[in-house]
A and B are shown apart, each in its own frame.
Chain A
Amino acid sequence: QQQVKQSPQSLIVQKGGISIINCAYENTAFDYFPWYQQFPGKGPALLIAIRPDVSEKKEGRFTISFNKSAKQFSLHIMDSQPGDSATYFCAARGPSGSRLTFGEGTQLTVNP
């Protein structure tokens, strides 16, 4: 019940295209859903986050869509750029308040 399932495992997109990464969770007590971006040799960095009381959050080219009833959320990267090539992790904060449960990660490659 603590798991977060992420798909796809890898994604290849052309420059200018839309990248979509999906996550699903089971625990309805999760109350915070961040996305992290990780470049090779670096630690994950917070990209964007959403709470379950809103259905969408947009920051620049990055948008989180949240479907509470389906217990799913997704990251959309508009106008994808080669510099967006990285591994993306979705996460959900557990009912204890501070522990994050991470998805398995998606390796995104944006071709020039």
Chain B
Amino acid sequence: DARVTQTPRHKVTEMGQEVTMRCQPILGHNTVFWYRQTMMQGLELLAYFRNRAPLDDSGMPKDRFSAEMPDATLATLKIQPSEPRDSAVYFCASGLVLGPSYEQYFGPGTRLTVT
């Protein structure tokens, strides 16, 4: 049963600290998405990659957020420095985009609390 995995599942940190979240997409998927979910904003797309290349990161605050795919099995989302307003659940999703048909599979999320 192929799944997207995310680590850590929970993270509590102090304002100003660096936070790194990791995602292992489903093997063979060529597209990886990062979302942020809050009560106020719902599900927001932060960035996504196709074949490890960034396609769109317009949803991400550039001054403090960065997203990378060092290899096909790992995607990272980094916040430096973190702020209390970054507290949210961060989801990674992956999909195999070959044409008109594809699905996104979400991971379990990383719940981030910045104090």
Residues of A within 8 A of B (CB): 31-32, 34, 36, 41-46, 49, 51, 89, 96-105
The reply to whether B31 and A98 contact each other, CB–CB distance below 8 Å, is yes
Residues of B within 8 A of A45 (CB): 106
- Enumerate the 5 nearest inter-chain pairs by beta-carbon distance, A residue then B residue, closest first: A43-B106, A102-B43, A98-B97, A104-B42, A44-B106
B72 contacts the other chain (CB 8 A): no
State which of B56, B100, B105, B107 has its C-beta within 8 Å of the C-beta of A99. B56
Residues of B within 8 A of A (CB): 4, 31, 42-43, 45, 48, 50, 55-56, 91, 93, 95, 97, 100, 102-109
15 pairs, CB–CB < 8 Å, chain A vs chain B: A34-B103, A36-B106, A42-B108, A42-B109, A43-B91, A43-B108, A43-B109, A49-B103, A89-B43, A98-B31, A98-B50, A99-B56, A100-B104, A102-B43, A105-B42
Q: How far is the CA of A97 from the CA of B108 in the complex (A)?
A: 24
State which of B4, B42, B95 has its C-beta within 8 Å of the C-beta of A98. B95
Q: How far is the CB of B4 from chain A (nearest CB, A)?
A: 8
Closest to A6 in B: B42
Residues of B within 8 A of A41 (CB): 108
Closest to A43 in B: B106
Residues of A within 8 A of B103 (CB): 34, 46, 49
Interface hub of A34, A41, A43, A104 (most chain B Cβ within 10 A): A43
